[in-house]
Structure 1
Amino acid sequence: MPLPLLSYQSSTQNARVLGYDVPGDDRPKVYSTENLLSAGDVGELIEAAYRQIFFHAFKCDREPCLESQLRSGQITVREFVRGLLLSNTYRKSFYDLNSNYRFVEQTVQRVLGRDVYGETERIAWSIVVATKGIVGFVDALLSSEEYLENFGDDVLPYQRRRVLPGRAKGELPFNIKSPRYNEYHRDFLGFPQFIMTYASRPKRAFRGETLTRAGDPASYLDMAKKIGLPTNSLRGVSASDFGDYMRKVPSRK
């Protein structure tokens, strides 16, 4: 018997605070099927959906059947998002390579456009994943009151209120804040590692011992003595070896 969703307290986040946003380049663009005017607009919405869910989709990651149904109006944007979340690409890239807690965190960011409220919400949704599976978890998110109130059937999810006008630096994008692979799989896949280097302490000289600095020629004196230098076999050259060299100099007559 699947357990019901545990109750969790909603902490104050930027996404929950109402405010007046001045339109600008930093404001996220809202994609909706209500204001589409051409087929190119539908294609732009589809590309934005791939960026929102997958962050980047290769040709093998695309879902041509879902794209065709969305272009022809057979499915809504919410159903298109559901198909991407239940695709093999999303399962292999996020569910198979992360724990349930991290999978919940990444999916909530992409679907609800906000961070999880805390450990309580992360645990509550993880129980849903463990009891109902990915399908039940995705359906519960897409049918939640928060999703329907903010996005509904026609609006593509986006990171809500990411830029804070009162701060020099706003919230980081979700793909940077929560990368696809966790620390274990980054090590397993051989991702670049950050190695901390520390300056070595100078060596102390004991009583009666003299220390030489690195690169001091005195350190290489013994090695230079062991190198055998070849002897010069050339004999000396005198002026008689050239003969009457004045006659050999060309001159004009």
Structure 2
Amino acid sequence: MALPLLNYSPVSQNQRVAGYEVSSEEKPKIFTTDNLLSPSDMDGLIWAAYRQIFSEHQMLKSNRQTFLESQLRNGQITVRDFIRGLVISDPFRRRNFEPNSNYRFVEICVQRVLGRDVYSEREKIAWSIVVVNEGVQGFVDALLDSEEYLNSFGYNTVPFQRRRILLQRTQGETPFNLKTPRYDAYHRNQLGFPQIIWQNQVRRFVPQEQKFRAGNPAMFLDMARGVSAKGSSTPRVSAMNINIEASVPRR
């Protein structure tokens, strides 16, 4: 018997704060099939879905799901079904689920599917239990079938980061697909990172005015110190031991 979802208390994050919205460059553009006017609009919607689910360093041609794109273009599936297919796709699993812990995977999915940060560690634990009991697909289905997702995005709108900006701030929050790395601290610790390895000799910075110029005697100081000073090899002779008669040549 699967455990029910644990209760967790929502906190006052940006998306829960009511306020007057002012249009700006940081306000997300909403992509929905309710107002598509041309095929290029559908291309933009599909691209926005990939950009929302996959992070910037995962925007690869091999991650495209052409079959899902075809179904969406032909009206066979909704945008919510397309998002579901992207999250449970093999590229997303290999790049986000397999290299991370369940807690980290829950954080990534909540950010990119529900468009907000996790409320607390208790919410991470609650959704991690769902991942263990029902698997990745069951966890994704629970997110997409939740009242929060349906009220925020419905069936035809691509998820987006809700309330990135507040009127009291000059800049908005960093997008989730930019500020969240692929590997969290847990996975880096499993690999033994970070490691500091010095490949070469450490170079010390010397100011320009302290560097020796060509011809400076100080450059040869170490060489001069390396020369051993030896005394004279001529033996010393006392004046009392000198034989004057034998030393003076005869004529």
Q: Structure 1-normalised TM-score?
A: 0.75
Shift of 1:222: 3.8
Whole-angstrom CA distance in 1 between matches of 2:84 and 2:194:
30
1:15 aligned onto 2:15: yes
Partners of 1:33 and 1:154 within 8 A in 2: yes
Alignment: residue pair count: 210
How far apart, in 2, do the equivalents of 1:11 and 1:184 lie? Answer: 25
Q: Superposed, which structure 2 residues align to 1:167-178 within 5 Å?
A: 167-178=169-180
Higher relative helix content: 2
* Structure-1 residue corresponding to 2:123: 121
CA change 1:96–1:189 in 2 (3 A) is farther
Deviation at 1:218? 4.5
Residues 110 and 116 in structure 2, CA contact (< 8 A), matched pair in contact too: yes
**From 117, 141, 144, the counterpart of 1:142:** 144
Which residue does the alignment assign to 1:94?
96
SS of residue in 2 equivalent to 1:158: coil
Q: 1:191 deviation in Å? A: 9.0
| Residues 4-153 of structure 1 mapped to structure 2, 5 A cutoff | 4-56=4-56, 57-153=59-155
Q: Distance in 1 between matches of 2:194 and 2:75?
A: 42
CA contact (8 A) 1:164 1:171 kept: no
Structure 1: which 4+ aligned runs deviate by more than 6 Å?
189-193, 213-216
CA distance in 1, matches of 2:95, 2:195: 19
Q: In the superposition, relative to structure 1, how do residues 219 and 144 fare at CA in structure 2: closer, same or farther (>3 Å)?
A: same
Match of 1:179 among 168, 178, 181: 181
Q: Secondary structure at the match of 1:102?
A: helix
* SS of match in other structure, 2:170: coil
1:173: Cα distance to partner?
1.2
The alpha carbon displacement at 1:168 in A equals: 2.0
> What amino acid does structure 1 have at the position aligned with 2:172?
G
Q: Deviations over 1:168-195 (max 9, x none)?
A: 23222112332122236568598998x9
- 1: distance between equivalents of 2:223 and 2:125? 67
Which sections of structure 2, spanning at least 5 residues, go unmatched?
199-203, 205-209, 228-251
TM-score, normalized by length of structure 2? 0.76
Q: Secondary structure at the match of 2:80?
A: helix
Calculate the aligned-residue CA RMSD, in Å: 2.7
Q: How far does the alpha carbon of each residue in 1:13-64 deviate from its partner, in whole angstroms, 9 at most, with x for none?
A: 1101121112222210000000001111001000010000012421111000
Change (3 A) 1:192 1:146: farther
Q: Quick one: structure 1 residues 29 and 221, their matched pair in 2 at CA, closer, same or farther if it must change by over 3 Å?
A: same
- Once residues 195 and 51 of structure 2 are traced to their aligned partners in structure 1, the CA distance between those partners, rounded to angstroms, is 24
Query: Residues of 2 paired with 1:70 and 1:192: CA distance?
Result: 46
Structure 1 position 114, deviation (Å): 0.3
Q: Tell me how far apart the structure 2 counterparts of residues 66 and 41 of structure 1 sit (CA, whole Å).
A: 17
Give matches, 1:204-243, under 5 Å.
218=218, 220-223=220-223
Q: Does the 8 A contact of 1:104 with 1:126 survive in 2?
A: yes
Rate the CA distance shift 1:190–1:169 in 2: closer, same or farther, 3 A. Answer: same
C-alpha separation between the residues in 1 aligned to 2:94 and 2:83? 17
- SS of the residue corresponding to residue 111 of structure 2 reads helix
Question: What is the letter of the counterpart of residue 169 of structure 2?
Answer: R
- 2:160 counterpart residue number: 158
Structure 2 SS opposite 1:82: helix
Q: Secondary structure at the match of 2:150?
A: helix
- What letter is aligned with 1:42? M
- Structure 2 vs 1, CA of residues 191 and 218 (structure 1 numbering), >3 Å: closer, same or farther? same
Q: Could you tell me whether the CA contact under 8 Å between 2:101 and 2:186 is conserved in 1?
A: no
Contact 2:55 2:178 in 1 (8 A): no
8 Å CA contact retained: 1:77, 1:154: yes
